[in-house]
Amino acid sequence: MKKRYIIPILLILFAYWWTVRWNYIVIHHSAGGYGNIEHLQKVHRERQSRDPLDAIPYHYIIGNGHGLGVGVVKSDWRQSFNIWGMHISRHNFDRNFRGLGICLIGNYEKQQVPEKQYQALVKLTKELMKKYNIPISNISGHGYTKGEQTKCPGKNFPMERFLRDLGR
């Protein structure tokens, strides 16, 4: 093979890998009662002022009826361009770089997850698992991830039920 073809071939391979590198899914809650893309962008800018990306820290959000309809799934350009997340701590760089973040709008330390929102999460997670060949063992809640010290996605998030439903 001629040398002039090596760089373009490597670039093509990298571009392909970039779009299929996803290996984890991490579930979050917003810990607030209201949320949509614009609101989460504002909160992210306030909390992570040095992040050069003006995007939500997650790849997907699922509404609770306050700011975004119950069970409505939205994403911003972070997901569209397969950009790494900012949804988990620096202790788990790989979960940000190769992990898709899904945030449920709501505080599930205080309330139960609405069934319609939960079903939308199960459907989206199954679709992502199938699309990127992500095993159930690589699905976790933020606070269930080794090295993380948070209650996210909240004590009322039905993690055992969620993992069972993903296996069906």
CATH number for domain 23-167, candidates 3.30.830.10, 3.40.80.10, 3.30.365.10, 3.40.50.300: 3.40.80.10
Q: What is the mean pLDDT of the chain?
A: 89
Low-confidence ranges of the chain (pLDDT < 50): none
Total-model pTM: 0.88
Question: Can you give the residue ranges of every domain in the chain?
Answer: 23-167
Residue 108 and residue 119: Cα distance in Å, rounded?
15
Quick one: CA torsion of 150, 107, 142, 157, rounded to 10 degrees?
110
Residue 104 and residue 62: Cα distance in Å, rounded?
5
Nearest 5 degrees, angle CA 92-CA 73-CA 164?
65
Q: For the segment 94-134, what is each residue's pLDDT rounded down to a tens digit?
A: 888 889 999 999 999 999 999 999 999 999 999 999 999 99
